[in-house]
């Protein structure tokens, strides 16, 4: 017997406002809304609602809202409703709980406990509307030898680097986990912004090879979609060792999302769950990683930087040190709040560490060892605003990956139901009827808007600090102060408390 579980959220319709146009009904892939011809009124079945807000947003008279249900079991600070419901759900099904997107638990957000400096009197703030304010940067190794040609000019001995006009990249989201139109939006936006998007482990659709110079292709443990043309098409290759949302396990794409097109792109069977292995089975140690790094460099004739992406875990600093010595050009660190298209709930909510602490420790360790310039550092895993970007760079990052924020720009409302494959916003789905809801002409423009807006804000904050190049912000921790942090947290972040002077 299955125990009935009361839905967490309820659909509330203001019947004075509802004109029964049935837009909500047509737009809900979960079948929440229906029209009752007997009463001439709309009805809603809240048990089907995932709270994606598609109906709320499209209702022309704003007659709908979704509210948190006030139904409750006996109040229990230990056994809250969700905990109890999860037990019922597992007792009903015998299954591992699945979730999507980032860890929603109320852990501390360290971004919100750091404050940024501004110039007053002793040096001038700089006005980005009137003076140049540079956000361009290059990612990759900077450990070039100083060599000169016969005329005494410096020779370019740099390893390949990636040029970014903004310190923001779109993080890895595979074709399969997200839709064709979502990918097209990301690719076109990356091109227009002068940055990069990342294929994730889902391969690269043939149609998108033309965005290759703005594409980072991923090589993950399942090797989905990896072949010669794929590597050659890209600007950089990323080895995915781990993901912040699910450290220690491989990717999981439900079979329902493996359409013919996804199957062809990934080079895997249609309709069958694609579960990539937890480790790379050719990497059981750091020296094995070095071999894969150099295999990929050989395969791409040393023309492309190689990124190694890890989940932020307890030993991130030491791991990063190993990676910096492995030949990799860039380290990407993904914090425990990072998004995912599907992850076991317990792993998503309990494994890994905050990106802020991991970043601070990785950057400091690499500097202590004198190898910070062997690699650039990319961070992701819940970078939510331009302020987070500024703080990340001041802590020591070169640039930030954004995933969730990019999806929000495309319409995502964080209902965390990607794994069902029925995304009403046309993002995390492969159903043609739903995919078409995301028009890339609209989507790409919204992404460009978002990053452009963030970049303006970054410039404003930099200008306030009297800094006119993003390079001078990188690792500039004196520009940060902590608030509401313990001594240990301050020490780990390498910053002082608010009110402590220079």
Residues lying near other proteins in the complex (CB under 8 A) are found at 16-19, 21-23, 26-27, 57-58, 60-61, 63, 119, 122-124, 126, 131-132, 134, 136-138, 142, 144, 146, 153-154, 156, 158, 161, 367, 370-373, 396, 432-433, 436-439, 441-442, 465-469, 471-479, 501-502
DSSP string for residues in 152-203: SPBP--PPP-EEESSSEEEPB--BTTB-HHHHHHHHHHHHHHT--EE-TTS-
Nearer to other proteins, 218 or 455 (CB): 455
Nearer to other proteins, 124 or 248 (CB): 124
Q: For residues 42 and 140, what is the distance between their CA atoms, to the nearest angstrom?
A: 57
Nearer to other proteins, 147 or 287 (CB): 147
Q: Which residues pair with 217 in a beta bridge?
A: 237
> Least separation, in Å, of the C-beta of 280 and other proteins?
31
For strand 197-198 and strand 168-170, is the pairing parallel, antiparallel, or unpaired? unpaired
Q: For residues 198 and 403, what is the distance between their CA atoms, to the nearest angstrom?
A: 10
> Least separation, in Å, of the C-beta of 480 and other proteins?
9
Closest Cα to residue 211, out of 188, 179, 181, 237? 188
Closest Cα to residue 408, out of 454, 358, 460, 457? 454
> Least separation, in Å, of the C-beta of 11 and other proteins?
18
> Least separation, in Å, of the C-beta of 276 and other proteins?
32
Nearer to other proteins, 155 or 346 (CB): 155
> Least separation, in Å, of the C-beta of 329 and other proteins?
13
CA angle 138, 142, 147 (to 5 degrees): 120
> Least separation, in Å, of the C-beta of 142 and other proteins?
6
Does residue 489 sit in helix, strand or coil?
helix
> Least separation, in Å, of the C-beta of 12 and other proteins?
16
> Least separation, in Å, of the C-beta of 217 and other proteins?
23
Nearer to other proteins, 423 or 438 (CB): 438
> Least separation, in Å, of the C-beta of 117 and other proteins?
9
What are the CA-CA distances from residue 500 to residues 114, 122, 493, 497 (Å)? 13, 17, 15, 6
Nearer to other proteins, 59 or 249 (CB): 59
Q: For residues 120 and 464, what is the distance between their CA atoms, to the nearest angstrom?
A: 9
Nearer to other proteins, 87 or 158 (CB): 158
Q: CA quadruple 265, 268, 269, 275: dihedral positive or negative?
A: negative
E strand segments, 338-432: 343-344, 376-380, 399-402
Element (H, E) at 33: strand 33-36
Token duo for residue 85? 């419901």
Token duo for residue 188? 């076109």
Given a contact cutoff of 8 angstroms between Cβ atoms, the answer to whether 219 and 250 are in contact is no
> Least separation, in Å, of the C-beta of 61 and other proteins?
5
Given a contact cutoff of 8 angstroms between Cβ atoms, the answer to whether 227 and 295 are in contact is no
Longest dimension (CA), the chain: 91
Nearer to other proteins, 179 or 199 (CB): 179
Nearer to other proteins, 385 or 469 (CB): 469
Nearer to other proteins, 48 or 142 (CB): 142
What dihedral angle (degrees, nearest 10) is formed by the CA atoms of 63, 67, 70, 72? Answer: 130
Q: In what order do the strands lie in the sheet with 306-311?
A: 168-170, 399-402, 376-380, 330-334, 306-311, 236-240, 215-219, 197-198
Q: For residues 311 and 249, what is the distance between their CA atoms, to the nearest angstrom?
A: 10
Nearer to other proteins, 274 or 467 (CB): 467
> Least separation, in Å, of the C-beta of 144 and other proteins?
5
Q: For residues 253 and 265, what is the distance between their CA atoms, to the nearest angstrom?
A: 14
> Least separation, in Å, of the C-beta of 63 and other proteins?
7
Nearer to other proteins, 126 or 193 (CB): 126
């Amino acid at each position: 017997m299955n125990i009935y579980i009361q839905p967490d959220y309820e659909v509330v319709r203001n019947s004075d406002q509802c004109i029964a146009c049935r837009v909500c009904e047509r737009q809900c892939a979960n079948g929440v809304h229906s029209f009752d011809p007997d009463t001439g009124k709309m009805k809603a079945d809240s048990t089907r609602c995932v709270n994606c807000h598609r109906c709320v947003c499209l209702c022309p008279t704003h007659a709908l809202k979704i509210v948190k249900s006030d139904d409750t079991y006996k109040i229990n600070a230990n056994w809250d409703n969700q905990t109890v419901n999860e037990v019922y759900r597992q007792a009903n099904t015998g299954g591992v709980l699945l979730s999507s997107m980032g860890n929603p638990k109320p852990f501390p957000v360290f971004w919100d406990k750091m404050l940024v400096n501004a110039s007053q009197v002793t040096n001038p703030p700089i006005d980005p509307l009137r003076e140049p304010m540079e956000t361009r940067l290059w990612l990759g190794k900077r450990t070039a030898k100083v060599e000169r040609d016969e005329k005494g000019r410096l020779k370019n001995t740099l390893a390949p680097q990636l040029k970014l006009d903004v310190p923001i990249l779109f993080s890895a989201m595979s074709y399969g986990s997200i839709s064709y139109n979502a990918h097209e939006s990301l690719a076109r936006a990356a091109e227009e912004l002068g940055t990069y998007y990342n294929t994730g482990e889902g391969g690269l659709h043939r149609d998108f090879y033309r965005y290759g110079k703005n594409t980072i292709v991923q090589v993950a443990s399942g090797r989905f979609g990896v072949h010669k043309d794929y590597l050659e098409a890209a600007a950089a290759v990323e080895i995915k060792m781990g993901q912040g949302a699910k450290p220690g396990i491989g990717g999981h794409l439900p079979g329902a999302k493996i359409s013919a097109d996804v199957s062809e792109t990934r080079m895997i069977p249609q309709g069958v769950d694609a579960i990539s292995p937890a480790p790379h089975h050719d990497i059981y140690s750091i020296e094995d990683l070095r071999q894969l790094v150099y295999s990929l460099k050989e395969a791409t004739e040393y023309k492309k930087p190689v990124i190694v992406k890890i989940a932020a875990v307890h030993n991130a600093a030491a791991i990063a040190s190993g990676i910096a010595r492995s030949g990799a050009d860039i380290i990407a660190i993904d914090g425990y709040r990072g998004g995912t298209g599907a992850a076991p709930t317990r792993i998503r909510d309990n494994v890994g560490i905050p990106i802020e602490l991991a970043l601070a420790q990785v950057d400091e360790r690499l500097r202590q060892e004198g190898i910070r310039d062997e690699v650039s550092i990319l961070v992701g895993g819940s970078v939510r605003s331009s302020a987070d970007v500024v703080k990340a760079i001041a802590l020591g990052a070169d640039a930030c990956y954004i995933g969730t924020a990019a999806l929000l720009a495309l319409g995502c409302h964080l209902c965390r139901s990607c794994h069902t494959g029925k995304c009403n916003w046309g993002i995390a789905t492969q159903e043609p009827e739903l995919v078409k809801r995301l028009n890339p002409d609209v989507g790409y423009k919204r992404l460009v808007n978002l990053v452009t807006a963030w970049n303006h804000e970054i410039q404003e904050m930099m200008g306030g600090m009297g800094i006119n190049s993003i390079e001078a912000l990188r690792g500039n921790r004196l520009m940060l102060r902590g608030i509401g942090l313990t001594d240990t947290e301050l020490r780990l972040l390498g910053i002082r408390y608010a009110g402590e002077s220079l």
